[in-house]
Structures are given as C-alpha cells and as structure tokens.
Chains A and B, each alone.
Chain A
Amino acid sequence: MTTLANGQAPEIEVGLTGGEARPRARAPFGRRLAPVRGNAAVGAYRLISVEDEGGPSPEPGQFYMLAAAERWGGGEGERPFLARAFSVCRTRGKGLDFLLEDIGPGTRRLATLAPGEDVWLVGPLGAGFRAPWVVDPSARRALLVGGGIGVAPLVIWSETLAASNVESRVLLGFRSASYSVAADLFADQAEIATDDGSTGRAGLVTELLATELDRTSDAVVYACGPPAMLEAVRRICAASAVAAELALEEAMACGFGACFGCVVRTRTGYRRICVDGPVMSADELDGSWLER
C-alpha cells in the first residue's frame, strides 16, 4: 500500500513538460508475463487480478498496458493488435487489480481471462495524483469524483488517502444501478448519481460536485471519467477556485511516449497523456480541449 509520508510520494520526478512534481514509479523495461489470479464480476464490469511478481508498486493514477498472452488478435475485425491501457484500480501485495468494461475486441478478450492464463504487462506508466497539500497548501480534504469505468484509479487513491489519514469524500456517477456496483470497491460510502435514477440520485455526478462545492472550498478535487464529465468538473472547479487533478484517458498504442498518438490539447500545446499524464492539473486545460 502506498502512503503519503511527509507529503512526499516515494519517487518524485519533475514532470516532462509541466514542471510540476508528480509521483512516477519506474517501469521495468520491456513487457513481462503476469499470471491471472482472478476475474470477478463487479456489476456490469469485470475486475481482473494479476500477479506482478517482479514489478514495482505503482503510484495511484499510474496505468499499465495489458494484452492477453494467447489469442490476442483474430477477434472481431481481426483485432486486437495493440495492448490496452488500464489504470491500476487497487493493489494487494504483488497483485494488481484492473477494472474493465467489455466495449471492443481488446476488452472483450481481457474480460474472458481465466486464472491460469497470462497477460503481457508493461508498467507502471505515466504519472499519478499529487497529494492534496502538494496541489494546494491550504487544502484540508479530498473530493474524489468518478464517472463509470473512470472510478478505477480513484479506488487506489481513496485507499492511499485513508492510509495517510486524509479526509476524503467519494462522488460517483454511473449509467444505471448495474454499473454502480463498482461503488462497493470503495471502503467509504460513496454518494451516487445515475443517469436513469435506478439507484442514488437521478442526474450527473457533476451535480453532486457542484452541491458539495457550494458547501466547502477547502478541498482538492480528483476526477476520472468520460471527457465531457471531466470538462464539467474542470469548469465547476474553476468557477469555485478549487484545484482539480484530472485523470485523462485516450486510446494509446504504446503507453510510454513512443507513438505520440494520445495527445490532448493543453494551454501549452499538445501533450502526450501517457507520459505527461494521465493525471494532469485542470489548470493545464482550457475549454477547447474537447473540440474537434
């Protein structure tokens, strides 16, 4: 379990371009085989557990590239070909848990992994969340805002914050009750919104955030979810003068800065989400990052 001793994450490195210090555990060079230990349903999602015997502990917010060792390719449309990127959801000893949703040929294959099979693993990659007091010295609390599959990195982050006795509150948004089962991955009771109102409040998680920020402004917001949700979080936080850390997602070919494919438009130009993120300060973005 990663903790935040003395405000310092174990390995701090100056970010590639932003200049801000972000936790970044180094990955072993090359891909390695890791045995699958479990594959459990979490509502409509799957939680895949692999044993990463030789790998380092990831920092919350970092991600891995995953591919099945066998039968990777030859699925729908003769794919998948590339590995797929997943934020680490939580760690248990040398075990890494990844939350995924079957949305295409890559995730479809990974969703069928069984204990005894192996995955190819590269990681941990990218840079993770900064502690609240690093983001904003006056912050007292953490607000975790997750949407759908984007709740994954917030699970390990909430555990890390709890281990460091940081007060945090978890707000989650899902399509419907069958997806909201992922809220059970959090130790603390989360406040839930669903699109269809089948559980929790009917509406968007960003409405929960806006209500929360009406009451308090001494928090740092940590958010992961679909781009439109992250943009709403960015706007709400900017209006409330609350700092936010956004974990971004984009299709990646490599995950280690080689392909330049996963860029996001920032105030200082295109940045690679894999090496300059996936966690970025909301300040780095303006409203134009989603425009096509």
Chain B
Amino acid sequence: MSDLRVELAGLELAHPVLNGSGTFDAIAALRTFGDELRDRFPFAAFVSKTITAEARGGNPPPRLWETPAGLINSIGLPNKGLDGFLEQDLPELASLPAPLIVSVAGFSLPQFQLLVSRVAERPEVAALELNVSCPNVESGCVMGSEPAETAAVMRAVRPLATKPLIVKLTPNATDVGAVAAAAEAEGADALSLINTLKAMAFDPAEGRPWLGAGHGGLSGPAVRAVALEQTYEVSSRVRVPVIGMGGIASGRDALDFIHAGARCVAVGTESFRDPAAASRVRDELRDLFAKREVRAIDDTPETASADLVK
C-alpha cells in the first residue's frame, strides 16, 4: 500500500489532493449530497471560496462559456464578506472532515491586513491562501502580476499571522518565477498555481463579448500544459512546497504535476463534471504509486521514470 500522506507547510495531510479555491462550495454540496459528502470527503484539505472584506454579489450573467476541453468563467468573487463569512460559513466549513484553508483577497494592503488578521485568529482555520489576482485599487496593478506588489502584500500580512500563508499565483504575469521568488523571500510558506488564464468569448449571434463582465478566466484540461510549465518553473525557483493545479482530471495528470515539482495538487474544473473527481484522482494516483513502488510523495523524483510519464 503506497503512502499518500504528505506534509504541507506544517499541515499533515492524508493525501496530496486538494480543491482549487472557488471550484467546490462545500456548504451547497452538503445540501445536495448530505452526509455522504462528509463520509466520502474527497479533499485532503478544503480551500474555501475567496472571501473579501466587503460582501460582493459577483458579476452580471452570463458567467460561463464552454471552450474546447475547458471553461471560461467570469464569476467576480461573490461572497458574504468577512463578517458574513466568519459568522455564517466558517462554523459549517469547520465541521468538514479536513483541515480548512481560507482564501482571502484584498483590493488594497489594508484590506489584506484586515482579512488575514481576522481569519488567522480563528482556531477553525488551519492556513490561509492569499488570492493576489485582484487589482490593487491604489496602484491599479494586479498584485500577483508583479514581484514587488506581491512582496508588498506578503510584507503587510506576514507579521499578522503565525499560521501558514499560501500565495495563489496568477499565470497572467510576465515572470511567474520571479513573483514566486518574491513571495517566498517575504515569508510565504507555500505557493499554489495556476489561477485561471485571462480569456474571452464572443456571442456568435451578436458579435459582442459573451460574458457579462466582458472577460473571464480559462480553466480545465485546456490550460494543463501551461500550468505544468509554470509549476515546473516555480518549483525550480523556490524551496517552499508548491500546490500544482490546472486541468487535473486523472491520477496521471496529478503525477505530471508532482513530476513538475508540486508537493500537492488541486482538482478544480473536473469537480464540476464529477463532484467526486478528486477521490478518483487520489485513488488513481495511489495505483500509479503502487505500480512504481513509490513509498511516499517525496520519493517521486528519484523513482519516476520516462515510461511513467509518456
């Protein structure tokens, strides 16, 4: 029996498969699937949907567009805001049978500081993920697109939390490796990538942008090769663990990310097609490990061979 246990920034995880933030609403899923979701919970740690300081309704519809092997979404971070999250959602998310990682996004450094300090103090929270794909209202720059901006976010929030801070990198950066290195230098405990790639679709009948917000983000198998390259690039630039994601739909996909340097992986869009997809990815990964007689995740780089990845 291969051991899938893995340590991520101090969290002891039963296996390396997480969810991508914003791709699984555990509270709505509990209403839909009931306690079977708890009994067969697919994720080793649960990453919440991104919360912001103020409540947000999200973008006007339409919000979705199907592409070849992928999906463009333009959701706009709808959430109850910090207070609503802490009061209403956190108790229910804390009841899940997995450590809770809360994703937060600020539109300014003070907002990030407020979010991190108020969320980190809650004992139900195991770690925080910083979504730096939002524009900074002060600079107008997407924080995660520039090393200096990302470093500024980390410098602002690092003193406020002893819990692990994971920076969710955006692929829409000139040099994602440089952004990753800046985050690590300012104390990030782990990095996760990729967020969605900026994308657009046009209404074939009207000839105007289809999505209510004009543009959105592409996910699914369509982005997997890009995500693998960025995971490889980032993993080679930093020493902290990397959570790789982008179109993972099978154990073999997950193993590709591990070979690219990821310590953990996350399933996102595939959960839309199969709510239990992450369980399948985990089981397939275990089978692949067993076939190669890999004993643990950290053994992978030594034992992986060319025939495993062809």
Contact = CB atoms under 8 A, between A and B. Distances in A.
Interface residues of B, number: 40
B30 to A, nearest CB: 10
A272 B28 contact: yes
Interface string A63-87: 0000100000100011111110000
Contacts of B158: none
Interface in B22-77: 22-25, 27-29, 31-34, 36-37, 40, 57-58, 60-64, 66-71, 73, 75
Contacts of A26: 32-34, 36
Given A253-B272, A258-B271, A28 B29 contact: no
Contact of A81 (B24, B33, B70): B70
Provide the main secondary structure of the chain A interface. Answer: loop
Nearest to A291: B60
A162 interface: no
Interface string B190-230: 00000000000000000000001000000010000000000
Interface string A265-292: 1000110100100000000000000001
B275 A254 contact: yes
Given A13-B31, A29-B33, A81-B220, A258 B23 contact: yes
Nearest to A106: B66
B58 A258 contact: no
A259 B31 contact: no
B276 interface: yes
A82 B66 contact: yes
A222 interface: no
A263 B32 contact: no
Nearest to A261: B64
B274 A263 contact: no
A81 B66 contact: yes
Interface in B247-304: 269, 271-276, 279
Contacts of B63: 260-263
B29 A251 contact: no
A257 B272 contact: no
B69 A256 contact: no
Given A78-B68, A270-B58, A292-B212, A29 B31 contact: no
Contacts of A28: 33, 36
A264 interface: yes
Given A31-B273, A82-B66, A251-B62, A258 B34 contact: no
Given A81-B69, A120-B274, A254-B271, 18 more contacts: A27-B32, A29-B36, A29-B37, A30-B275, A30-B276, A78-B68, A78-B69, A251-B64, A251-B66, A254-B273, A256-B25, A257-B25, A257-B28, A257-B31, A259-B75, A261-B63, A263-B61, A275-B31
Interface of A: 13, 16, 24, 26-31, 67, 73, 77-83, 120, 122, 125, 250-254, 256-265, 269-270, 272, 275, 292
